[in-house]
Structure 1
Amino acid sequence: MTEALFRDDAYLSTVEATVTGLRDDGGIVLDRTVFYATSGGQPGDTGHFERADGTLIKIDATITGETKADIVHLPEAGQPAPAIGETLVLHIDWKRRYKLMRMHTACHILSVVLPYPITGAAVGEDESRVDFDLSEASADKTELTDKMMAIVTANHPIFTRWITDAELDANPGLVKSANVKPPRGLGRIRLVCIGEDGAVDTQPCGGTHVSETQEVGDIHIGKIEKKGKENRRFRIRFGAPPA
């Protein structure tokens, strides 16, 4: 099991770690990492590892292994392989990660202004999408953008807390996804909360987010698409809406 440092501190961009395993596909397993592994619609981190002699191992993707607790770092083709037991300094591509943190937070904000079951989501560096079980096609891009930006500019705090599996079972309304359940097996569930005491939003999520809504910056709904009889796709983009 790899200690996932990003779960408690999404702003930690570098750390020392020890190689604990090497896979046949070149994947590197460490005792701990700041690299987020692809999950929940958020892409895995990229970046590089620095060896003691100064050479670099460029990381092209981060994925989970046999379980969510196993994090595997996939090097670019042609990179040198470290040795088991070797100490490396990890560096994520912070510029990319921070954009994903802002975008993932924006997705949570959209789920506040559109309180419907989520049927799918994908977080991107410049555009994200969230799909809702929503039969009505009357959603207005300008109105939704204004509501989202009101939450952004209010600068609500964002924090995480943990509950037990039993506590989640007792509060099923916390789960917004219609078809994907929070990962279990650790005996506890991570909640991402927006607002004092989570008053704006509280939902299970394992991704990375900013620490206050103002950090999201300008966002807008760029497009609303009909995807089936009762499915609507909302695309979030950075920047103010086009004039």
Structure 2
Amino acid sequence: MTELLFRLDAYLNDVTGIVTEHTAEGGVVLNRSIFYPTGGGQPGDSGRIDWSGGSMDVATTVKGQGDAIVLVPAAPQALPAVGTTIRQHLNWLRRHRLMRMHTALHLLSVVIPLPVSGGSIGAERSRLDFDMPDAPKDPAAIEGALMRLVDADLPVSEDWITDAQLDADPGLVKTMSVAPPRGAGRVRLVQIGKTAPYVDRQPCGGTHVARTGEIGRLRVGKIEKKGRQNRRVYLHLDD
């Protein structure tokens, strides 16, 4: 089991850990991780780990068996032995952009209040797919509404509810294609806004910025037709 430090504090970037195992594919598992694994539309983190006498560039991070998180080396190499204490360093510029983008997509789901049928988060460009038969008539209005939420500098926080509470309030789930992260008997909610009723409140296991003002300038890109009922809306970070 890997302790999910990225969930306790998404801003951690220089933390020790202990190697607990090697995977058959050549990955490294730690007892605790600031590296987020691919999931929920958010790509896995990259970066580096250092130890006495060696270092390893981390190309990406994935989920392993059970609750293990696997750091995938950028190239085959000698791995730190099980029991070795290492220091973890994120590619922080990339991670922070992914955090900004992820929070921005939550805001997009507020500005376009339709069911979400898919999505993908990138450091430069991200997207949500909506159950939207007709294209928006005014993309500039979408961008303006997004920037008003960004400029409001709203706090982003989390809460936890039980699986049963989520089942009793299915409207919390906006994504049709990605199931909320379950399995531990409780579900993490990401909330945007100062107090209830929040601007947004939905299940999410990803990493987010602390305030919407941290997102920066957003630009709505292409809006593509993806099937009879779907429209794909792209978002770009302009800085």
Letter in 2 for 1:95: L
SS in 2 for 1:150: helix
Shift of 1:24: 1.3
Q: In structure 2, what is the equivalent of residue 234 of structure 1?
A: 233
Q: Return the TM-score normalized by structure 2.
A: 0.97
Q: Return the TM-score normalized by structure 1.
A: 0.95
Contact persistence 2:26–2:76 (CA under 8 A):
no
Q: In structure 1, what is the equivalent of residue 167 of structure 2?
A: 169
1:183-232 residue CA offsets vs partner (Å, 9 max, x unmatched): 21111101100001351000000010100000000001111000000000
Contact persistence 1:129–1:235 (CA under 8 A):
yes
Q: In structure 2, what is the equivalent of residue 9 of structure 1?
A: 9
Shift of 1:70: 2.0
Aligned residues: 238
> Matched residues in 2 for 1:161 and 1:183: separation?
13
Structure 1 residue runs of 5 or longer lacking an equivalent are none
Comparing 171-180 with 135-144, greater Cα deviation is found at 135-144
2:104 to 87, 103, 106: 106
SS in 2 for 1:196: coil
Instruction: Report 1:56-71 matches (<5 A).
Output: 56-67=55-66, 69-71=67-69
Instruction: Report 1:94-243 matches (<5 A).
Output: 94-197=92-195, 199-239=198-238
Letter in 2 for 1:74: V
SS in 2 for 1:6: helix
Letter in 2 for 1:212: R
Q: What RMSD over aligned residues (CA atoms) do the two structures have, in Å?
A: 1.2
Comparing 213-222 with 131-140, greater Cα deviation is found at 131-140
User: Where does structure 1 differ by over 6 angstroms across 4 or more consecutive aligned residues?
Assistant: none
Shift of 1:112: 0.4
> Matched residues in 1 for 2:140 and 2:93: separation?
29
SS in 1 for 2:201: strand
Contact persistence 1:141–1:223 (CA under 8 A):
no
Shift of 1:179: 2.6
> Matched residues in 2 for 1:173 and 1:188: separation?
17
Contact persistence 1:158–1:213 (CA under 8 A):
yes
